[in-house]
């Protein structure tokens, strides 16, 4: 079984997701205590995909995060670099145009998407800024981005309880429900090492995204960052 470490070697990250693919969605629902569904709804609302728009769902995994855009009538392209996750996605959602691609070298031309989104994926990419810059490149001028990622709970007492949950309860629960419990040690470590809300906003602004703003979900356990590509 493979587990990535905080240096996030792309081959280790891809292999780790290959291992968890079959049970990924179930484990997600259990470990997030059902919040994952609410977070997905909030992403769909933030992206506001309209019929006919082209939406890139980057690090889409099994494609579950892409379904709300399909439902909205958009042409969604789910893209991921784990062949295991893509294969599981193809099995579950044969109609989705699942595409293989690395977030730091996207296989798309400049400015082809109206919106780009990434849910629980950016934290796993070795070079965050390179991925944010690639997302900017493939978005049309005036187009938008929404990043959904674990973040920093804002209320200190809750933050302490949450950190305890991550470090203590999550690995044994993952052992019960996941095909690769070690992957959830990486999950806990990578959440703790990830920038907080202003930190991620600063990275987005640094690569050229404009009007960067965020909204906390579940008290800041998750944050949605959104921004737009400058028009000229
Ligand atoms: C936690 S899953 C999220 C899947 C989906 N977006 C969701 O919300 O359920 C993270 C995904 O990021 C993908 N990933 C990580 N690094 C990537 C990269 N550099 N390029 C493309 N996909 C990547 C992994 O293969 C994995 O499927």
Supply the pLDDT for residue 209.
Answer: 98
Q: Which atom of ligand 1 is nearest to the CA of 82?
A: 25
Q: How far apart are the CA of 9 and the centre of ligand 1, in A?
A: 13
Q: Which atom of ligand 1 is nearest to the CA of 104?
A: 19
Supply the pLDDT for residue 169.
Answer: 79
Is 12 marked as binding a ligand?
A: no
Mutate to test the pocket of ligand 1, among 6, 121, 183 (most ligand atoms within 8 A of CB): 121
Distance of CA 80 to the CA centre of its chain: 10
Q: How far apart are the CA of 125 and the centre of ligand 1, in A?
A: 8
Mind listing the pLDDT tens digit of every residue in the chain (232 residues)?
667 888 889 999 999 899 889 888 888 887 888 899 999 999 999 999 999 999 999 999 999 999 999 999 999 999 999 999 999 999 999 999 999 999 999 999 999 999 999 999 999 999 999 999 999 999 999 999 999 999 999 999 999 888 887 777 777 877 877 777 788 888 888 998 999 999 999 999 999 999 999 999 999 999 999 999 999 7
Q: How far apart are the CA of 102 and the centre of ligand 1, in A?
A: 9
- On the 0-12 / 13-18 / 19+ scale of CB atoms within 10 A, 184 is buried
Our answer on whether the CB atom of 59 is closer than 6 Å to any ligand 1 atom is yes
Mutate to test the pocket of ligand 1, among 7, 10, 17 (most ligand atoms within 8 A of CB): 17
CA distance 169 to 184: 11
Supply the pLDDT for residue 149.
Answer: 97
- 40 and 119 in contact (C-beta within 8 Å)? yes
Mutate to test the pocket of ligand 1, among 17, 59, 106, 148 (most ligand atoms within 8 A of CB): 59
Our answer on whether the CB atom of 184 is closer than 6 Å to any ligand 1 atom is no
Is 182 marked as binding a ligand?
A: no
Supply the pLDDT for residue 84.
Answer: 96
What single string gives the DSSP state of each residue in 186-201? HHHHHHHHS--HHHHH
- 201 and 214 in contact (C-beta within 8 Å)? yes
Q: By C-alpha distance, which of 83, 79, 55 is closest to 68? A: 55
Supply the pLDDT for residue 129.
Answer: 98
Structural domains in the chain? Answer: 10-228 (3.40.50.150)
């Amino acid at each position: 079984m493979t587990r990535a470490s905080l240096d996030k070697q792309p081959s280790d990250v891809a292999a780790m997701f290959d291992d968890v693919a079959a049970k990924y969605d179930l484990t997600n629902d259990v470990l997030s205590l059902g919040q994952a569904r609410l977070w997905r709804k909030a992403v769909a609302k933030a992206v506001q995909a309209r019929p006919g728009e082209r939406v890139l769902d980057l690090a889409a995994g099994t494609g579950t995060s892409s379904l709300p855009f399909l439902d909205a009538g958009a042409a969604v392209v789910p893209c991921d670099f784990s062949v295991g996750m893509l294969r599981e996605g193809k099995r579950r959602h044969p109609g989705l145009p699942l595409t293989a691609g690395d977030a730091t070298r996207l296989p798309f031309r400049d400015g082809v998407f109206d919106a780009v989104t990434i849910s629980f994926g950016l934290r796993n990419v070795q070079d965050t800024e390179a991925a944010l810059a690639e997302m900017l490149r493939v978005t049309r001028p005036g187009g938008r981005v929404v990043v959904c990622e674990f973040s920093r709970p804002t209320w200190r007492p809750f933050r302490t309880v949450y950190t305890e949950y991550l470090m203590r309860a999550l690995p044994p629960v993952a052992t019960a429900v996941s095909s690769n419990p070690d992957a959830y040690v990486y999950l806990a470590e990578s959440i703790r090492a990830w920038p907080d809300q202003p930190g991620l906003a600063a990275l987005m602004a640094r690569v050229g995204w404009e009007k960067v703003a965020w909204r906390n979900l579940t008290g800041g356990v998750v944050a949605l960052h959104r921004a737009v590509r400058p028009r000229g």
